[in-house]
Structures are given as structure tokens and as C-alpha cells.
Structure 1
Amino acid sequence: MQRQLRSGNTFSEWDGEAIRVVDTDFDLASYIQRSIEEERDEASDEDTDYDLEGATISLAAERVASAGSPTTPHPNAPVPCTVPDAPPRGHKKRTRERNHALRKRKRQEAQVPAEDAPDLEVRASTRRKHIDPALPIPTNLQLTGVRVTKTGYTAMRDKPAPHRVYQLEELVGPNSKFQFDLVTWEGRKARPFVDNGETVFGLLAGRPDQAPDWDPLMRDFADTIENTRPHIRFKSHQLRHRRGPFPA
């Protein structure tokens, strides 16, 4: 017997082979009930809690079969599943209270000052491979006195800087007015920059230890950038901006 929807589409009773659940203990209704409870308990706002004590799940098995189905049931007709009894009222109350306490503890942990926050756990293998051999580069910088933008994303310029490229001998050495320190680096091991309080504010990332094809890959990458350069067009504000006189 065919039925026709208001859209004009028609459908009839399923007479093909049914796919039966192998696990006889599988109960769809109980999983739906559990999912509803978990979604309710995971709500972040305590005021949005609602009670599902009287809520029931009805899997209308009579809708599965067609209204005009024959008297003899089809051999592959689905068997209606039974809805399990709802958990006792005390169980739901304890679950709700436990989730409220968990959300409260997470909010309190989020308000802990940075200086009181526990240190992040680092895997021992990661510490041995990357952190322990990373020789820090000390500086006299005091981060608490550095001016930054409102978002803290970039540092603020104290005064306009000349837009020219300096030579190495102008930056370091006895005749340099800047008196920068030249730090030699082989480009492999990671080296962090630390301020006068041992706070890391920069990092020379290095390169993978076991990468024999690293150099040719980097040369190919540099050649690709150089070959693409003539085909790139920048606007004026992209050539000279707050982070320096370079295209970005």
C-alpha cells in the first residue's frame, strides 16, 4: 500500500531485508535517556537546569508498520523495544549536585592568579629532548616595565626608529653605539631568551635532529618564495606597518 505526502512524494511499506542488531542487550531508549541526562548535566549555566523526572521516551512502534499492513506480520518486521524504568529520583539529584560542584570548582580554578597557578606537566621524554639541552640566553630586560598595546599582542614604540638596514659592526663591537651582544647559534638546538627574572619571552626554535633532507627542503622553500615574489602585489599599508617596513 502506497502513501502520498503533501509534497507529492510517495512511499510504501518496507519489504526488503531488515538489518537486525546482533547485540541483544542493545537498548536504544536507554541510550537516548542517558544522552539527555548528560547534555542536561553539562550545561554551563546552573539556572538552565530543568527536571526530567516526568519525562518519558515513547518509541511509537505502531508507526513503524503501515496502517494497511496485512494481518500476518512480515517475517522481518521490527520488534518494539521496551523503555527502561527511569532511574530513581535520588540518583538524578546526586548527579545534578555533583555536576554543579564540578562546574563551581572549574570556575574557581579559572579565577586563580597566574602566580598561584600550578606548573604545567611536561612529559619526561619531552623535557629530556628539548628543555634540558636548551641553553637560555640571559638578558637584562625587565618585562614588567615594557610598554605594550592594549591587547598585549605587540610592543609599543617609544620613539620613531630610522628605517634602514644596519650592518653587523654597527650593532656589536666596541665601536657600536648600541652595544648589542652577538650570540652564536648553530641553528639546531632550541635556545630561549629570558629576562632578568628567568621568564621566557622569545625562542630560537631550531630544527629537527633527524632530518637529513632538511637543507634541500629549506632551499626549495626559499626558491619558491623568491620565484613567487614578482607575482605578488601589496598595498601601501601592507608594505609599511606597525611591525616593521616589510610586506605582510
Structure 2
Amino acid sequence: MTKPTWDPAQYLRHAGHRARPFADLLARVPGLPGDPPRIADLGCGPGNVTAVLADRWPTARITGYDSSPAMLEKAQEYAGPTPGGGRLDFAHADAAVWVPEEPYDLIVSNATLHWVEGHLDAFPAWLDGVAPGGTFAFQVPDNIDAPLHALMRELAHSARWKNRLGHVLRREDSVHTPGVYLDRLARLGCAADVWQTTYFHVLQGEDPVLDWVKGTGLRPALTALADDPEAREAFVTEYRDLLREAYPSAPYGTVLPFRRLFAVATKEA
């Protein structure tokens, strides 16, 4: 997989839809043991949902971590003291190698771990960094078999594109089954709650599914073709035509079914 470059403006074009799963995840996180609590948001992106943590835990000291300079630059607008007396900061970190340097009452990750190969192997070190009674919680897209990804892979492996794009997209095993996550977290001594939800997003505008995926799943292909604008436009056009057939528009908009996987793992107090 090619490490993608990120475009905060493109990602935020569907901010409302993308923020809803994070709210649903936080709704299942129990009370935190610290006073004030210490929170890490791993893969914070542009910081808009990281800021929501301060609404739930007003006194918390929160650090958002991300490996994208562009995302961190955008996130800085949320940095500083929070209205409840806490603080929100952002720092560079690669989730593939990040290890907690202090105890956290909550380590949370929103739509990030599917980009981190071998993330299951990181769970022991992350949980070692969770305080007794604290929680590790995450959600990831669980739709690698959906048309928007299947068609992208099919096109990338076609005769025209396979030499340039056949190796750049996310692998089909980038997210494990719910049972795998439940078993791993439970064996690490946590009370684990794992579930799936399928959202039916009603998107507006011209080619809205393409616009959505330009902010996320398509980023590796866009990055790989960044030095060849003509080829990049040709690939996007072919992919757009496939998406139009797979996700037809209706008078009220275009429906994008989107399944996500959630996990909340709490350590013994």
C-alpha cells in the first residue's frame, strides 16, 4: 500500500457523516478513572472530532496524534485551553510505531487503524499505556468488499493500470472480523464490546460517492499518480463512471451504504 498524502479540505467535505460514527463510539465509552482524565486520539486527522472529546470530558488533557503534516496544520485551530478547564494539543506520531509514553485514561482511534498494517500486534503496547479502569476504543470502516472499494481494486488491477496502481491500494485484509478483535482484546484482559453498524448516508451533489472516496480510500491512488495529472484524471474518470452505475442517484440524493466496526475495551480497575 502506498502511504497516502491527505487533503484536509477534501476530507472535511463530508464532515457531518464522518463524525457520526465517532459520536456513536463515544456513547459506549464508560466513565474514565482519571481526574482530570488524560486522553490520546490516535489518527486525529483535522482535529474536528478530537475537539468533541472536550465536550464529553471538559477537564481532560487531550492530545491528538497524526502523521500527516497537512492534517496537523488544520487541527491547530482547535489547540489550546478548552472551555471546561482542560487542554487540547496536537503532535506528530505514526500509529504504526507509536507507543504511549505515559498512562492514558482513554486511547481512542477514529477511522485510522485500517491504514495501519499489523495493528493487532500494537494492541498489547497500547493497552499497557491505558490506566487501570481506562478504555481503548476505536472504529474503522468495515466495507472493503463494498462496490466503491471492489471497483477501485478491479480498475487498479486492469491491464491499463496494474503496473502503476496494482500494489498501492489497501489490502483486503486491512480490517479483521469482529470476532478477531473481540478475541484479541479479551485475551489481553479487557472487557470488550465489539459491534458493526451500517449507515445509509444520503449524499448530495454531482458524483458524491466519488467526492467522498477522494477524501479517504482513493488517496493512495491519487498519491501514486500525483506526478502525472493526465493519468490521474483518466483513472478518476474511469472510476467515476463505474461509481455512477453502482450508486445511482435518486430525486433525494445518492445513497451510500457504509458499514463500520466498533470496539470498546475496558481494563479492570
- Whether these two folds match at TM > 0.5 is no
Give the structure-1-normalised TM-score.
0.19
Give the structure-2-normalised TM-score.
0.18
Structure number with higher relative contact order (C-alpha < 8 Å, ≥ 6 residues apart): 2
Give the number of the structure whose residues are more often helix, by fraction. 2
Give the number of the structure whose residues are more often strand, by fraction. 2
